[in-house]
Amino acid sequence: MIHITVKLLFVLAAIKWGDWRGWKKYYSTTQFFIMGDLFYNIIFHDYPLWRFEEIIPLFKYDIYIMLSFMFLRYPATVFIYLGRFPKEKGKAIMWYLFWVLIYIGIEIIDLKIGLIKHYNSWNIWWSLVFDILLFALVKLHFHKPLLAWGLAVLSSIVLWNLLGVPYHILK
């Protein structure tokens, strides 16, 4: 229930601040964001690095929480993040860092109240690295999608090896 509430806040923020007129411009980048999460959920299903939980047992970690991220939070994020991305370099860096802080801040709160749990060597510092990479790749994908895909695959391989994820999970 709390997950849905947070996602609805993202949607309300997107309604107010998102670039809905330009939704077609952001469509492929939204898909890039969703597909990254989908790949994570499929590949790491039996060896999670993190797992979202629900405090109120309306939903356990299952398709509903995963889909609420994919179809509510991620598009809302892209429509606001890219739709309001400043052209001025100094402001652009601050906007980028603002979004990294939003995501890591939400995760810190989620950790404290039990909405997310880390597993298999993952911790808040890895999440920070992940968020830094995520928002850079989302912006890059908007302008150079093939380069973003290549860097996403490369960074996934590097993270996989740094975390010592066993290859047998790819059965």
pLDDT over 90, % of the chain: 62
pLDDT tens track for 17-26: 999 888 899 9
Q: Do 34 and 97 form a contact (C-beta atoms < 8 A)?
A: no
Query: What are the helix and strand counts (H, E) for the chain?
Result: 7, 2
What is the pTM (predicted TM-score) of this model?
Answer: 0.90
Domain count, the chain: 1
Three-state helix/strand/coil letters over 150-169: HHHHHHHHHHHHHHCCCHHH
Cα(43)–Cα(156) distance, integer angstroms:
12
How sure is the predictor about 57, in pLDDT bands with cuts at 50, 70 and 90?
low
CA pair distance 52, 141, nearest whole angstrom? 26
Whether the predicted pLDDT of 153 surpasses 80: yes
Task: Give residue-wise pLDDT tens across range 75-90.
Answer: 999 999 999 999 999 9
Q: Which residue has the higher pLDDT, 30 or 21?
A: 30
Strands (E), 14-158: 50-52, 116-118
What b/e readout covers 92-129, taking b as 16+ CB neighbours within 10 angstroms? eeebbeebbebbbebbeebbeeebbebeeebeeebbbe
Maximum average pLDDT range among 30-44, 59-73, 120-134: 120-134
With residue 25 as reference, give the H or E element that holds it: helix 23-43
Domain region containing 47: 2-170
Tens of pLDDT along 71-127? Answer: 889 999 999 999 999 999 999 999 999 999 999 999 999 999 988 999 999 999 999
How many Cα atoms are found within 13 Å in the side-chain-facing hemisphere of 53?
A: 15
